[in-house]
Chain A
Amino acid sequence: MKLIIAYIQPHKLEDVKAALVKAEVGKMSVTNSLGCGEQMGYEESYRGIRFEVNLLKKVRLEIAVNEDYVSRAIEAIISAARTGEIGDGKIFILDLVDCIRIRTGAHGSQAIG
């Protein structure tokens, strides 16, 4: 079992979700986040004072998958989120020790569904 954490551009969320659903990976958790990397910040100003904004808005996806779904989930995310520009995002893959469904108490691969 693996936990996929993907940081993508906010406006790519709809496309990525649709691609994941198509790849039969329909369960995920989505949160807001701020992040920085190679992408440059931008300038804002407030009543005469300029300041740099370096933390940019991103969307974070967390998806728990069974082994045989890992590669198609990653392919779906990449194909939908890639624009070729700096700032497309990153994907991290972690080993998942266990997954429990609260409603039924099921453990492991069954709980991931």
Chain B
Amino acid sequence: MNKNDILQRFGKKMVVLILFLSIGGLLRADEEAAIKASDIKIGMDTMWVMLTAFLVFFMNLGFAAVESGFARAKNCVNIMSKNFVVFAVSSLGFLILGWGLMFGDGVGLIGLKGLFFAGGTDNSPAIGDAYQGVYSAISWTGVPLWAKFFFQLVFCGTAATIVSGAVAERIKYQSFIVFSFVMAMLIYPVVGHWVWGGGWLAKMGMFDFAGSTVVHCVGGWAALAGVIILGPRIGKFSNGQIKSIPGHNLSLAAVGTFVLWFGWFGFNPGSTMAADPVVISHVAVTTNLAAAAAIMSATLMSYLLLGKPDLGMTLNGCLAGLVAITAPCAFVGVGSALVIGLIAGALVVLSVMMFDRLRLDDPVGALSVHLVNGVFGTICVGLFAQDKMTGTTTGNGLFFGGGLSLLKAQLAGVIIVGAFVFLMSMVAWVIIRAVMGLRVSREEEMRGLDIGEHGNEAYSGFQVFSSM
């Protein structure tokens, strides 16, 4: 045979073979391009979740500064210590059990699978039907398991640290540490499971985008129980009068409030847990507007009721607006956010005055900011929600033609969470008091917890003038 014969016999087969190989090659290239796109999405979502989680972590600095600024100098070391230790405790407690109780598959009340050390089976970042694991309630977000864990952890830390301000200047250090473990391992995760972990409140139709109830109400109710059982600071209520115990550093308090405001841009927009451009932009704006409106209304209220614009009230006003918008931020319009903020600012000023008159001593206004406005913000979802505002189907709130159904779900959630957290916290506080005591001695309280609890002075070398 010669060359031409070979070509004729094998030519067609050669052409088919070459065509087959090249088409196959092209298909492979498409597959690789498709994988890259979803990798990019996972990458961006994870970046977003981690960055916003870091912002929320930074809020711990804000809390430390606000609480310290509103307290007396002789208790600063103690307050700083409490704020430091509470995040460490939350980090440990949430890892040991909290995450599992909150997001593990289980029943409406608690998670039951993957309880300890976030060790359950999980193939995050797979989402939806591709997800295989025991944390299905949070399988809607396409980021790795530890990203989800870390993001949820900093929220748990926020709830736990709310308590430290309300019980400041008179609580024993060890008692607070023990209570914080209970918060991080039991109280917070159970409520979190009900609302975010696929539990029964979510099934009932309750919505809480970033945690007015899950974080702020939980912290607030626990703080209320603490304030009641501790009693007021010595000298706060004497001779039937309400005395003022001024904070020692309002500059620090203002700096702390700025830090919290900044951190809230992680708290709210981050709760999308996805780099979703429309939602995160909308949420950032509603968040900021609520804070701005609340600052104005709190300052105005302070002018009207107290004669002068009290900085403490302005700062509390800012935080109140932020707490109030935390639940509704993705479900309401920009105008609604303004209104919510305006009401929140007025509400917090009145609350601070109310708690004083109720003889409940709250050194930093934690109850007025977190509890009262956490409740208010949760209810606002039922009033101001607009269906699919940023994509979620919430139905319309009362003011947008949705009738009472959403509002009823929100109210029910508020009451149920309130009852649960308040009762559990009371039980915890009572047990702690019986086992190790709760409040420092009178002498220690007068001298300052810095000396009594820590043997340190915050401002060594300074002569601190305090007559109380």
Query: Interface of A with B (CB < 8 Å)?
Result: 10-11, 13-14, 32, 34, 42-46, 50, 57, 59
Contact of B456 among A13, A14, A32, A46 (CB under 8 A): A46
- The 22 sampled A-B contact pairs (Cβ below 8 Å) are A10-B466, A10-B467, A10-B468, A11-B235, A11-B467, A13-B467, A14-B467, A14-B468, A32-B463, A32-B465, A34-B463, A42-B451, A43-B455, A44-B451, A44-B455, A44-B456, A44-B457, A45-B455, A45-B456, A50-B455, A57-B464, A59-B467
Q: Is B460 an interface residue (CB 8 A)?
A: yes
Distance (whole angstroms) from the CB of A69 to the closest CB of chain B? 24
> Closest A-chain residue to B442, C-beta based?
A11
A11-B235, A11-B468, A44-B457 known; 12 other A-B pairs, CB under 8 Å? A10-B466, A10-B468, A14-B235, A14-B467, A14-B468, A42-B447, A43-B455, A44-B455, A44-B456, A46-B456, A57-B463, A57-B464
State the main secondary structure of chain A at its contact with B: strand
**Whole-angstrom distance between the alpha carbons of A45 and B464 in the complex?**
19
Distance (whole angstroms) from the CB of A55 to the closest CB of chain B? 10
Contacts of B447 in A (CB 8 A): 42
Contacts of B456 in A (CB 8 A): 44-46
**Whole-angstrom distance between the alpha carbons of A48 and B194 in the complex?**
46
Distance (whole angstroms) from the CB of A84 to the closest CB of chain B? 14
Contacts of B464 in A (CB 8 A): 57
- Please report which residues of chain B, range 342-373, place their CB below 8 angstroms from some CB of chain A when the two chains form the complex: none
Contacts of B463 in A (CB 8 A): 32, 34, 57
**Whole-angstrom distance between the alpha carbons of A17 and B245 in the complex?**
17
Q: Is B446 an interface residue (CB 8 A)?
A: yes
**Whole-angstrom distance between the alpha carbons of A45 and B463 in the complex?**
18
Total residue contacts A-B, CB cutoff 8 A = 29
Distance (whole angstroms) from the CB of A27 to the closest CB of chain B? 18
> Closest A-chain residue to B466, C-beta based?
A10
Contacts of A11 in B (CB 8 A): 235, 446, 467-468
B447, B457, B466, B467, most chain A CB atoms within 10 A: B467
Distance (whole angstroms) from the CB of B218 to the closest CB of chain A? 36
> Closest A-chain residue to B443, C-beta based?
A85
B457, B465, B468, most chain A CB atoms within 10 A: B465
Contacts of B235 in A (CB 8 A): 11, 14
**Whole-angstrom distance between the alpha carbons of A29 and B221 in the complex?**
45
Is B460 a contact of A46 with CB atoms below 8 Å? Answer: yes
- Please report which residues of chain B, range 418-446, place their CB below 8 angstroms from some CB of chain A when the two chains form the complex: 446
Closest 5 CB pairs of A and B: A13-B467, A45-B455, A32-B463, A44-B455, A11-B446
- Please report which residues of chain B, range 313-338, place their CB below 8 angstroms from some CB of chain A when the two chains form the complex: none
- Please report which residues of chain B, range 193-252, place their CB below 8 angstroms from some CB of chain A when the two chains form the complex: 235
> Closest A-chain residue to B448, C-beta based?
A57
**Whole-angstrom distance between the alpha carbons of A60 and B465 in the complex?**
12
> Closest B-chain residue to A17, C-beta based?
B467
**Whole-angstrom distance between the alpha carbons of A34 and B451 in the complex?**
16
**Whole-angstrom distance between the alpha carbons of A46 and B463 in the complex?**
18
**Whole-angstrom distance between the alpha carbons of A95 and B464 in the complex?**
31
**Whole-angstrom distance between the alpha carbons of A34 and B463 in the complex?**
9
**Whole-angstrom distance between the alpha carbons of A46 and B235 in the complex?**
30
A11, A13, A14, A42, most chain B CB atoms within 10 A: A11
**Whole-angstrom distance between the alpha carbons of A56 and B447 in the complex?**
10
**Whole-angstrom distance between the alpha carbons of A90 and B455 in the complex?**
28
> Closest A-chain residue to B454, C-beta based?
A45
Contacts of B468 in A (CB 8 A): 10-11, 14
**Whole-angstrom distance between the alpha carbons of A32 and B447 in the complex?**
15
Contacts of A59 in B (CB 8 A): 467
**Whole-angstrom distance between the alpha carbons of A13 and B451 in the complex?**
21
> Closest B-chain residue to A56, C-beta based?
B447
**Whole-angstrom distance between the alpha carbons of A45 and B455 in the complex?**
5
**Whole-angstrom distance between the alpha carbons of A43 and B282 in the complex?**
55
Contacts of B467 in A (CB 8 A): 10-11, 13-14, 59
Contacts of A45 in B (CB 8 A): 455-456
> Closest A-chain residue to B243, C-beta based?
A14
Distance (whole angstroms) from the CB of B80 to the closest CB of chain A? 15
> Closest B-chain residue to A59, C-beta based?
B467
Contacts of A10 in B (CB 8 A): 466-468
Contacts of A46 in B (CB 8 A): 456, 460
